[in-house]
Structure 1
Amino acid sequence: MLAKCAIFVDFDNVFTTLWELDREAALRFASEPGDWLQVLANTHVISDPRRWLVARCYLNPAGFARAPGDTNDRLYFSRFRPGLVRAGFEVIDCPAVSRGGKNAADIRMVVDALELLDHRTHFDEFVLASGDSDFTPLLQKLRAEDRRITIVSPGYLSAAYTSIADRIVGFEAITELLRADADLALGGVDKSGPSQVETEQEDSRAEFSSLIRTRYQEASAPLNLAALALDAARKCVDAKQSGWFGAGSFTAAVVALDLPNVQFSQHHMWDAERHQPPSADRTDESAGLPADVGLLARELDLPRIDRADWPKVFAVLAQYAMTHEFNLTEATRWCRDALAGEGVEVGRNSLAYVMRGAQFGGVRLDSELAPSPEAIGAAFRGAVLDRASSLGLPLGETAEEAIGNWLGVN
């Protein structure tokens, strides 16, 4: 049975975010949307495969991305309109309505989604391709109407936004979709059964469930969620990449396991029948993090990299930028192997997180002049603090200094 679905794509939001991270991926996303749309119909599903009854793309025809070497150094979004139409999208032109270039795509998407709630077709699932947390009230409405929700976005997402969704398709999953669409174009996708990505995710989900249940059953005291999440990310390599299997956060994925007598508080979980609740003044010292850093690590899902290793991470990123033409997928592999040669174990997902943070902080790893390790570290620190501020996390000067010390960029 196919799920009746509607997809709404905020083109400007998704494309510009991808463009900042991986320009090749951005071009694949915009140039052949029919391919990844077909792959998405059968992957990262909540229950049944999807049937796209409504597919709308909201695009500013005068919008553009900076592209050195292109006409006037601008890559106009209008060039992708024919491909979107061929893919079956209803393209909604959303020109800028203010001097600052802001368009009304978000309002149009909200109005259209609310109208579909009363449509004679009962839509099972709404897929929103946007990282704009302003859609949070819309998601709350969709959830209250008992509709499933999937968010597709390559950028950092606020916890309030992701906590409402049933599944998150983040940057790594999007790049998997785009790689899969190349296979599809060559006739390489086997439609007779589940894809390799789906099979691997199911295996990883089973491994994750087994790990958490075993640790929970064997625990003699409350388990620190930060430390447990780090262990799970190391042993279940697809867990974080899939947005904790679409749950949006590690804690939400654990809650979905429905463990017997489980309680959550003070960043711990415990069995109410076997354990005493954790003391209110406990911090993340058990995970090796200062309290202020632990707060950010939990709320922003920061990579758990040892303090002494952060400068090495920034140095390796700078070395890659100096000696290679930047490609995010290849960069994570190369940097992981280079760090391993120095005795530092950092996963590819963690490296991708740092690279994205640096680029969101204003330092591009694909710029003509390769950035220094110090510039990369400062940009990443700035991006972390900006995200904390946008989420309303209480950080004073002391906390900012502690975070800088942890990263080695003060």
Structure 2
Amino acid sequence: MPTRTALLIDFDNLFIALWEVDREAAMRFASEPGEWLQALANSHLTGEPRRWLVTRCYLNPAGYVHATADRTERLYFSRFRPGLVRAGFEVIDCPVVTRQGKNAADIRIVLDVMDLLNHKTQFDEFVLGSGDADFTPLLQRIRAADRRIAVVSPSYLASAYTAIADQIVDFDAMTAILHSDAGTDAVDDFDGANGSAATVSEEEQQRFAELIRQRYDEATGPLNLASLAFEAARVCPNAKRSEWFGHKSFSAAVAVLELPDIKLSQHHLWNDAKHQPPAPTASPPAADVPETIALLMRALDFPRLAKDDWSPLFDTLALYAEQDHADDEEVTRWVSEKLAQDHGIDVPRGTVSYVVRGCQFGGVRLDGKTAPTADQLSIAFFNALLDRTAALGSPVTPEEEDTLADWLGLELID
């Protein structure tokens, strides 16, 4: 029996979070809701097939983001309303209600969830699209009613979210949905006439092989399999729809190309004769991690980067801010690939997103009129972490502040 699901999306919260780190993903989220909605149901939420019995989107029609770096053009959220309606969303207008620009989306979502918990339909699952930490009590109420919970958010989340929710669809999962053709896979994988897998022309197979060989030959270090698969799916749409030419997985389709000296791991491929194996992405050894940092990793989902990786990360973010990226708004991809290329550091895009958001919460943006320095970015991120620990009711001591600053490569001035 399909899972009876209610989906409630805080549009402003999700769109702005995506816009600040990946504008292409943000536009796909706003412009192609029907596609990502299907992909979300089919690929990124576990369990039985689901029916979206309620799909509501809470949107400030007067809300906007700056469409250009000089802030002369505005992209208003109202332009996306018709597309959301066509995709079956019930759009709830939530205009600004405070001088600080806050709308009433959060309280409307809370009231609607409380009504739906007592609805005669008896919803099995609630999917909440927001990273607002104020929703923690609401998640606790949903959990107490014995309903499943999924949280969709590209922002870093309160630790309570990850503890209460059954599933988190984070930045990496969201961009995987929004940058791929997964939204159409469910209807295109088989043709209605005979149920056979989508056919792939010899020309498309050749195009796939040429793309992979070119990326492999040009690579200066290990290639991320997920990123390469997304690019291949865009260049050769039928490759994925045919289950990667019948090989069932992308890595298997790559393996049959018999590239020279190729090595494959769960997340990477590389030339064993030219490249060092990818750096492990797991936590640094416990003996090398101060207890303060270990606590932050647990409480705030603080990125599990080695101490020596933080300075290159802030340097690379500053380098991105200095350059003109009018045609390249995907800061997370650019920074992640630049770190791998220049420093041999494997930093996931989700980690870059976490740090960018932290810098923004600390008052420093990458797209400001003046490009921030690496020191300004690191200090902003440091201050945002302190604010988050205080908000959780466990502010750090001066000694712990010194430990955190040292880990981030900062030198505090008394």
Kindly tell me: are residues 87 and 96 of structure 1, through their superposed partners in 2, closer, same or farther at Cα, counting changes over 3 Å? Answer: same
Q: Is the 8 A contact 2:336 2:349 kept in 1?
A: yes
Determine what percentage of the aligned residue pairs are the same residue. Answer: 52
1:200-243 per-position Cα deviation (integer Å, ceiling 9, x unaligned): 8xxxxxxxxxxxxxxxxxxxxxxxxxxxxxx99549xxxxxxxx
Q: In the alignment, what sits opposite 1:309? A: 309
Q: In the alignment, what sits opposite 2:114? A: 114
Determine whether 1:391 maps to 2:388. Answer: no
Letter in 2 for 1:336: L
Letter in 2 for 1:53: L
**Distance in 2 of aligned mates of 1:123 and 1:100:** 35
Determine whether 1:354 maps to 2:355. Answer: yes
Shift of 1:340: 3.9
Letter in 2 for 1:46: T
Structure 1: stretches of 5+ with no match in the other structure:
201-230, 236-283
Letter in 2 for 1:315: D
Letter in 2 for 1:190: D
Letter in 2 for 1:350: T
Q: In the alignment, what sits opposite 2:126? A: 126
Letter in 1 for 2:105: A
Kindly tell me: are residues 288 and 189 of structure 1, through their superposed partners in 2, closer, same or farther at Cα, counting changes over 3 Å? Answer: farther
Shift of 1:9: 0.7
Q: Is the 8 A contact 2:18 2:26 kept in 1?
A: yes
**Distance in 2 of aligned mates of 1:358 and 1:189:** 41
**Distance in 2 of aligned mates of 1:379 and 1:189:** 46
Q: In the alignment, what sits opposite 2:168? A: 168
Q: Is the 8 A contact 1:125 1:147 kept in 2?
A: yes
Shift of 1:323: 4.3
Letter in 2 for 1:389: A
Q: In the alignment, what sits opposite 2:410? A: 409
Aligned with residue 328 of structure 1, among 326, 331, 334: 331
**Distance in 1 of aligned mates of 2:97 and 2:316:** 43
Shift of 1:161: 2.5
- The farther-off stretch of 99-108 and 85-94 is 99-108
**Distance in 1 of aligned mates of 2:14 and 2:351:** 21
Shift of 1:126: 0.7
Kindly tell me: are residues 143 and 308 of structure 1, through their superposed partners in 2, closer, same or farther at Cα, counting changes over 3 Å? Answer: closer
Shift of 1:329: 4.3
Q: In the alignment, what sits opposite 2:101? A: 101
Shift of 1:403: 1.0
Shift of 1:295: 1.8
Kindly tell me: are residues 84 and 316 of structure 1, through their superposed partners in 2, closer, same or farther at Cα, counting changes over 3 Å? Answer: same
1:99-152 per-position Cα deviation (integer Å, ceiling 9, x unaligned): 322222122112211212222222111111011122222211211221111101
Shift of 1:289: 2.0
Q: Is the 8 A contact 2:69 2:367 kept in 1?
A: no
Shift of 1:347: 4.5
**Distance in 1 of aligned mates of 2:134 and 2:352:** 28
Shift of 1:45: 1.8
Structure 2: stretches of 5+ with no match in the other structure:
198-239, 250-278
Q: Is the 8 A contact 2:172 2:349 kept in 1?
A: no
- The farther-off stretch of 109-118 and 327-336 is 327-336
Q: Is the 8 A contact 1:60 1:94 kept in 2?
A: yes
Q: In the alignment, what sits opposite 2:230? A: none
User: Please, what TM-score do these two structures have when normalized by structure 2?
Assistant: 0.71
Letter in 2 for 1:138: L
- For residue 119 of structure 1, give the secondary structure of its aligned residue in structure 2: coil
Kindly tell me: are residues 54 and 100 of structure 1, through their superposed partners in 2, closer, same or farther at Cα, counting changes over 3 Å? Answer: same
Q: In the alignment, what sits opposite 1:85? A: 85
Q: In the alignment, what sits opposite 2:189? A: 190
Letter in 1 for 2:290: P
Letter in 2 for 1:79: R
**Distance in 1 of aligned mates of 2:19 and 2:349:** 20
Q: In the alignment, what sits opposite 1:209? A: none
Q: In the alignment, what sits opposite 1:260? A: none
Shift of 1:401: 2.1
- For residue 20 of structure 2, give the secondary structure of its aligned residue in structure 1: helix
Determine whether 1:376 maps to 2:377. Answer: yes
**Distance in 1 of aligned mates of 2:81 and 2:318:** 37
Q: Is the 8 A contact 2:365 2:372 kept in 1?
A: yes
- For residue 146 of structure 1, give the secondary structure of its aligned residue in structure 2: coil
**Distance in 2 of aligned mates of 1:31 and 1:159:** 31
Determine whether 1:148 maps to 2:148. Answer: yes
User: Please, what TM-score do these two structures have when normalized by structure 1?
Assistant: 0.71
Letter in 1 for 2:362: G
Shift of 1:176: 0.9
Give the total of aligned pairs: 331
Kindly tell me: are residues 99 and 319 of structure 1, through their superposed partners in 2, closer, same or farther at Cα, counting changes over 3 Å? Answer: closer
RMSD (Å), alpha carbons: 3.3
